[in-house]
Chain A
Amino acid sequence: MEQPEVVQVGTARKGESGGSFWRRLLQSREFGVFLALVGLVILMRFLTPYFWKPDNIFNVLRGMSTIGIMAIGQTMIIITGGIDLSVGSVLAASAMITARLMYTGVVSPWVAVLIGLSFGTLLGAINGLIITRVKVTPFIATLGMLSIARGLAYLLASGLQGTVASNVPMRDESVNFLGAGYIGPVPFPVIEMFVLVIVFSLFLRFTVLGRQIYAVGSNEQAARLSGVSSDMVKLFVYTITGTLAALSGIMTAGLLGTSATNAGTGTELDVIAAVVIGGASLAGGSGTIIGSIIGAAIMAVLRNAFVLLQFPIYMQTISIGLVIILAVAIDQIRRRSS
């Protein structure tokens, strides 16, 4: 957290624009990752005729949409120097409560969605409270929540048949549109992702709270001394990440028409990887949402390539790991040389 290259309180790294805009752009971490993505896309276009078809591009984007949406929250958390390991479980628990309420029919489908979103928000807020009030480190607090929320998902899923946790159907056309809908040729989840990316990018860059997120991550003490309530900032980022995980859960259940007990298992690692590939530092203080989305896109294109190019099976597992390390290593080298 105490890095030498401390940014001034209230100033985001990419905050100001000046004569050196192009230099800044070229030196930014996001630009490096963006070039990597472009390179990967060009390579794919060259290697297979199927990659650059609109259908395939939309499939890739839809496939990364829930990871991308959770990466928005995770980026903000990682900028504050924290981490959230519970997103995959919060996703499952929120989707499960939504599907369960819809299945039993006690409330109308959209009320069930609201309750599901609120539930995720609540779980996120609990993360935030444990971290800020009880001073449990984010890693431990959210590791605990990873288990608790998964357990809640099982609990909410049990009882349909005997007591064994069972997947719960979710069959409302209008709600499922969130995960399975199309507007023209564009999958609706892709639109949701881009709208949220734009909204939260603007929020991070142009609002006081957005700037404070960077401030807390750069130098928490300095931020506090200049009047930033770091606890409030942290509570906010964990809470909103809970909401975004819940939305991702409802989208996932909507896509398949069923809320699965194991939905989102291990997803937290994909989300964190996307953020890290996208240029954020786990030490806090830096990172952008655009970067994280590009990170998620790199992984999605790679997974698409597994199938399109018939990757040998074990190479798939290795390549994901290589990309994570390479992305961060290249960035380190770039920074040292500049």
Chain B
Amino acid sequence: MFDEQIETFDKGVILPMKTATRLLSVLALLAVLAGCTTVAPAAPAPAAEQAAAPAANTVVVADVERQPAPAFDSACTAADEGAVVPADFTPDRPLKIAVLGLENNPFWIPVKEGALKAAEELKPYNVTVDWIVPGETHTADDFSGGMEAAIAQEYDAIATIAGDAGLVTYIDRAVDAGIPVATFNSETAAPNNRLFFVGADLYKQGEAAGKAMADAIGGAGKVGVITGFFAVEAHELRRKGFEDYLTANNPDIEIVAQVENSDQGDIAYTQAQDMMTANPDLAGIYVTAGGPFGAAAAVEDAGKTGEVKVISFDFVDETMEYVQKGVISATIGQGPFAQGHDPAIRLFNYIVTGEAPECGRLLTEAALVTQDNIDQYWTPPAQ
């Protein structure tokens, strides 16, 4: 899906070299903002020209006038999410961009793929993108060290996960040192000087889950909620979004239990069993974070597939297998590929054009995957 978009987009954005630098930058900005559908028919230049004439588009990085960052709280959805292409300028010196990510669970597989894809796309422009894993957790404990190291190593731009407020200082320190910073996946509630964020609006994801649940159980019935940790803001936002949506739109749906499973499948299994015991007429189980396959396994083992609908997040293999079997009615994505891919490309574009994204939060698509459309999102791993 992404590859197709990138291809069309490539042809669209590349302009003939006659154009003045200024015009070019405006167009590049337009392209970034408008997305492929608008731009594609405008300039059908062959991709070959790009390789033929990089020198003409050379830009002196130090001379680029950088726009200020958009308002921290401003939010929009980028039409070219996951498919943003590099602006067609070659910097006068090699650039290196750090992407600070995690590898502690399968959620990160597509994120890393995105970062690697960005590295491949930026390579012709003399840019190195390094995927760096500073530790095991989202928090500043691990990422502060990663940020410090990236600043010390004089990266030209940094994309990082910002799991808690402890990272604000480090982000601002990098920006003060002239290094633009983008955040992805999770960011701090406290404002900081990052240029933009790429990731999900977790509260809206919760609302989407509420709607998916209402649709799955026919707008009425008892549901149980299994959340990761009450202490994790991201999980709470998904829990609240779900609860608020149902309160506002589906008064006939009753939430009969809310428990935390520490992101673990086996605990979710026991809790799902308990929910079905306490409520023989249970209609649905909502899992906000890790281990939804535990709840699904409990439903399946109890012979209640189709009777108790499970709604969950993300596209890890275990979850997708249960979607395919019909135990999990829907699982909601958050554009993990875009989270890994877009920050590096947009940071590059900012460095060579000076144009900032139109808003501070570039919210990723909350794709709803069900038994009907799972083929578009997932292929079973080869045994």
Binding site for B on A (CB under 8 A): 48, 50, 53, 55-56, 59, 62-63, 66, 150, 154, 158, 160-167, 169, 180, 252, 255-258, 260-266, 303-304, 306-308, 310, 313-314, 316-317
Q: Are A310 and B104 in contact (CB under 8 A)?
A: no
In the assembled complex, the Cα of A167 lies from the Cα of B107 at a distance in Å of 10
Known contacts A50-B278, A308-B277, A308-B278; A166/B297 CB under 8 A = no
Residues of chain A within 8 A (CB-CB) of B108 are: 164
For window 285-302 of B, CB contacts with A under 8 Å fall at 290-291, 293-294, 297, 301
Closest chain A residue to B290 by CB distance? Answer: A262
- Interface residue from A53, A154, A261, A316 paired with B259 (Cβ < 8 Å): A316
Q: Are B293 and A59 in contact (CB under 8 A)?
A: no
What is the 8 Å Cβ interface bit string for chain B, positions 297-312, against chain A (1 contact, 0 not)? Answer: 1000100000000000
In the assembled complex, the Cα of A146 lies from the Cα of B157 at a distance in Å of 35
What are 7 inter-chain pairs, A to B, with CB distance below 8 A?
A: A161-B381, A169-B318, A260-B265, A261-B104, A262-B290, A303-B259, A310-B257
Residues of chain B within 8 A (CB-CB) of A160 are: 381
In the assembled complex, the Cα of A158 lies from the Cα of B106 at a distance in Å of 9
In the assembled complex, the Cα of A56 lies from the Cα of B113 at a distance in Å of 44
In the assembled complex, the Cα of A56 lies from the Cα of B105 at a distance in Å of 32
Q: Are A161 and B297 in contact (CB under 8 A)?
A: no
Residues of chain A within 8 A (CB-CB) of B257 are: 306-307, 310
Residues of chain B within 8 A (CB-CB) of A261 are: 104-105
Residues of chain B within 8 A (CB-CB) of A53 are: 277
Residues of chain A within 8 A (CB-CB) of B291 are: 260
Residues of chain B within 8 A (CB-CB) of A307 are: 224, 257, 259, 271, 274-275, 277-278
B317 sits at the interface (CB 8 A): yes
B130 sits at the interface (CB 8 A): no
Q: Are A317 and B230 in contact (CB under 8 A)?
A: yes
B262 sits at the interface (CB 8 A): yes
| B109, B262, B265, B290: residue with the most chain A Cβ atoms closer than 10 Å | B265
Q: Are B262 and A63 in contact (CB under 8 A)?
A: no
Known contacts A162-B109, A163-B103, A167-B317; A256/B278 CB under 8 A = no
Q: Are B277 and A256 in contact (CB under 8 A)?
A: no
- Interface residue from A59, A255, A313 paired with B297 (Cβ < 8 Å): A255
Q: Are A314 and B230 in contact (CB under 8 A)?
A: yes
What is the 8 Å Cβ interface bit string for chain B, positions 247-290, against chain A (1 contact, 0 not)? Answer: 00000000011111011111001110111011000000000001
Q: Are A262 and B105 in contact (CB under 8 A)?
A: yes
B106 to chain A, nearest CB (A): 4
Residues of chain A within 8 A (CB-CB) of B106 are: 161, 164-167
Closest chain B residue to A309 by CB distance? Answer: B278
Q: Are A258 and B277 in contact (CB under 8 A)?
A: no
- Interface residue from B103, B112, B230, B297 paired with A257 (Cβ < 8 Å): B297
Q: Are B293 and A258 in contact (CB under 8 A)?
A: yes
Q: Are B104 and A313 in contact (CB under 8 A)?
A: no
Q: Are B105 and A165 in contact (CB under 8 A)?
A: yes
Instruction: List 13 additional contacts besides A306-B274, A308-B277; criterion CB under 8 Å.
Output: A150-B136, A164-B106, A166-B106, A167-B106, A167-B316, A256-B269, A260-B265, A263-B265, A307-B275, A307-B278, A310-B278, A316-B260, A317-B260
Q: Are B264 and A258 in contact (CB under 8 A)?
A: no
In the assembled complex, the Cα of A55 lies from the Cα of B278 at a distance in Å of 11
Closest chain B residue to A55 by CB distance? Answer: B277
In the assembled complex, the Cα of A42 lies from the Cα of B103 at a distance in Å of 47
Q: Are A306 and B277 in contact (CB under 8 A)?
A: no
Q: Are A265 and B263 in contact (CB under 8 A)?
A: yes
Q: Are B270 and A256 in contact (CB under 8 A)?
A: no
- Interface residue from A163, A258, A316, A317 paired with B265 (Cβ < 8 Å): A258
Q: Are B103 and A164 in contact (CB under 8 A)?
A: yes
Q: Are B266 and A256 in contact (CB under 8 A)?
A: yes
Residues of chain A within 8 A (CB-CB) of B262 are: 265-266
Q: Are A167 and B258 in contact (CB under 8 A)?
A: no
Residues of chain A within 8 A (CB-CB) of B273 are: 59, 63
In the assembled complex, the Cα of A44 lies from the Cα of B230 at a distance in Å of 25
Q: Are A59 and B264 in contact (CB under 8 A)?
A: no
In the assembled complex, the Cα of A297 lies from the Cα of B291 at a distance in Å of 23
Q: Are A252 and B109 in contact (CB under 8 A)?
A: no
Closest chain B residue to A266 by CB distance? Answer: B262
In the assembled complex, the Cα of A162 lies from the Cα of B108 at a distance in Å of 10
- Interface residue from B109, B113, B230 paired with A166 (Cβ < 8 Å): B109
In the assembled complex, the Cα of A303 lies from the Cα of B380 at a distance in Å of 35
In the assembled complex, the Cα of A260 lies from the Cα of B267 at a distance in Å of 12
Q: Are B318 and A167 in contact (CB under 8 A)?
A: yes
Q: Are B264 and A260 in contact (CB under 8 A)?
A: yes
In the assembled complex, the Cα of A62 lies from the Cα of B136 at a distance in Å of 30
Q: Are B277 and A252 in contact (CB under 8 A)?
A: no
In the assembled complex, the Cα of A7 lies from the Cα of B98 at a distance in Å of 61
In the assembled complex, the Cα of A165 lies from the Cα of B317 at a distance in Å of 13
